Chains A and B, each alone.
Chain A
């Protein structure tokens, strides 16, 4: 279904394709729990991770995913490559492509960069985060985590809290959740809500964090970038923590079985109080584990494998 395709945006995936990826990922979860964490599915295939922006977990997650499928992996980053010598993205990716990789996993600070690369290479391109645009593998691992807990996505009440404006995680989740029929409410400071949010995605903009969380089954909290203070979006981290941070009291308004999600890395004491990060509702580490499985599924399926 997604064999031979690029994974650039959640908008390219219909419900059936998402189901296929999640089912495949659920199967791959077992491999990472074995003593011998390796299957030969992608033996002889080459995966390049091209990260033009800092990343620890996503890069590691994709790399482990590829290695556990026996693909050969190599990576390049902006510093220490020809990019720092002024080579254009066009030339860089054409050079990479000439080395015949089967897949290129790309992270780039510019929105639309993954599509830009996909239009210029013959390898499959997997978007590992392009600017403020999308981060589809993150949304898929989030969907998998939700489905594991609730057994379904349709009708699920999801609250997304925080800096929506700059968040590619929020965008990919808004699209994916809408495709799967979840009900999404968003909340955050007005300065960090993009214009025409309701017109761009199927979601409701709540008046307050509390209103968004009320009765929600999933509370997804986004990371607050510290640079938002310097650029005048917010007065201080302290005020953000008080006015928009999610703590045990707010989480008490959610559904009794609600889960707390965060794409990481967490600013403890800013968007989340320490007690809820470590509390019983947190599934943050499940998200990390599911991340490897989802990326295994994406690599496996796009490079032509049958559903596991």
Chain B
């Protein structure tokens, strides 16, 4: 099976590629990169990409797909559709499903289901603790053998430092990173949003920045002491960025991610009690937002990750204090990330790296267009304007402050291991596993 992507600007900073070229895919792998218009189309499917960028398929270290247990919010099929439409070929699925992914059987089931859908590579995370209850270790060996790529109690950080210490030590035997939702639950108790001028005005209980910083400092100390691998999820404060930067400089095995909502918005987004902007960790101050962008610029943050967290109106059409935290992000991540380049905050190469090879490297994987690589690709029209609405949205949920907002940069097609899984202008769009 051959596929030629013609006349696109092939952009892969990781492999040092940036040129207008024809890209040949054979049997699911990148076979050749040739001068534009030079590849003969005989017996190959051809995709015209003039004016488009051809990037490595995006990789998201942080999504919630809600299956099993909360399929009314999202399931593996709708989540994979949203991923493909957002240009993501690989997503790392958190373990806080109902029941939580704390055994090999549940990992295997998620892998089988998503493989049969064939829209997106779903990499399951296993829990750190059994039942995600923070009391005893989950079976890391069994999780790893079934295909889990990392461990996380995301949303319910392991409060017991002794147990987390053991987790870091034991995880080393299976070379699994621990993805940490770094938050001190006592400092965040009953918190609704960032503690600051807006929380004061709205009369909402604040979540102070130190709640994250205390936890990041603890996690770094434990990773450093045990030699374990720590990945800090959804960084939100300037001081947490400093802690990671200093730890990296000391050689601690730590990586980190930043979400598009944290680098785009501040606590002001909550000002009208907008539950779509309720998220943990909370949207913070402008100085934090600037520090997160600086972290992406200098590599303190390795990855842009969405923390795609679907919720229905049952969880969101309620008073702010009752609303579940989280927002969807798979389809808005790329345009919001490109805004960082458009506004002059980051070079284009850095933006692409943080969405592709950066997150892949956290898991010891690759996202590349070099000859021989698995052909995960995304075609992007960098100038096209669009918005997320009922027509474009592929998630089952619509909880995002970016709903209906003008976005620039649109995914035109997504190719997973050489197969077209999303083509915006084609009908039917979904080719699936077929």
Contacts and interface: CB of A to CB of B under 8 A. Distances in A.
Interface of A: 88-90, 108, 110-113, 115-116, 130-134, 168, 171, 194-197, 199-200
B202 A110 contact: no
Contacts of B204: 111-112, 131-133
Contacts of B200: 194-197, 200
B325 to A, nearest CB: 15
Nearest to B314: A88
A-B pairs, 4 with minimum CB distance: A132-B203, A112-B273, A133-B203, A196-B197
Interface residues of B, number: 22
Q: Could you say which of A90, A108, A111 has the most chain B C-beta atoms within 10 Å of its C-beta?
A: A111
Given A195-B195, A199-B197, 6 more contacts: A88-B317, A111-B192, A112-B320, A132-B205, A194-B200, A195-B200
A134 B203 contact: yes
Interface in B109-157: none
B203 A89 contact: no
B319 A195 contact: no
Given A88-B318, A89-B319, A115 B273 contact: yes
Given A132-B204, A168-B203, A195-B206, A112 B319 contact: yes
A44 to B, nearest CB: 32
Contacts of A113: 319
B287 to A, nearest CB: 13
A111 B203 CA distance: 6
A131 B203 CA distance: 7
A255 to B, nearest CB: 28
Contacts of A112: 202-204, 273, 319-321
A90 B273 contact: no
A197 to B, nearest CB: 6
B248 to A, nearest CB: 30
B201 interface: yes
Contact of B318 (A89, A133, A196, A199): A89
B357 interface: no
B383 interface: no
Nearest to A131: B203
B109 to A, nearest CB: 32
A171 B314 CA distance: 30
Contacts of B320: 110-112, 116
Contacts of A111: 192, 202-204, 273, 319-321
A177 B164 CA distance: 51
Contacts of B259: none
Nearest to A198: B197
A171 B203 CA distance: 8
Nearest to A117: B319
B321 A90 contact: no
A200 B202 CA distance: 10
A112 B198 CA distance: 13
Contacts of B206: 194-195
Contacts of B192: 111
Contacts of A196: 196-197, 200
B275 to A, nearest CB: 9
B397 interface: no
Nearest to A134: B203
B319 A194 contact: no
Nearest to A89: B319
A116 B317 CA distance: 9
Contacts of A134: 203
Contacts of A171: 201, 203
B199 interface: yes
A108 B203 contact: no
A196 B317 CA distance: 29
Interface string B202-243: 111110100000000000000000000000000000000000
Nearest to B205: A132
A196 B205 CA distance: 13
A200 B204 CA distance: 13
A63 to B, nearest CB: 24
B114 to A, nearest CB: 34
A108 B319 CA distance: 10
B322 interface: yes
Interface string B315-354: 0011111100000000000000000000000000000000
Contacts of A131: 203-204, 321
Interface in B151-209: 192, 195-197, 199-206, 208
A134 B201 CA distance: 9
A195 B321 contact: no
Contacts of B314: 88
A132 B199 CA distance: 10
A113 B275 CA distance: 12
Contacts of B196: 195-196
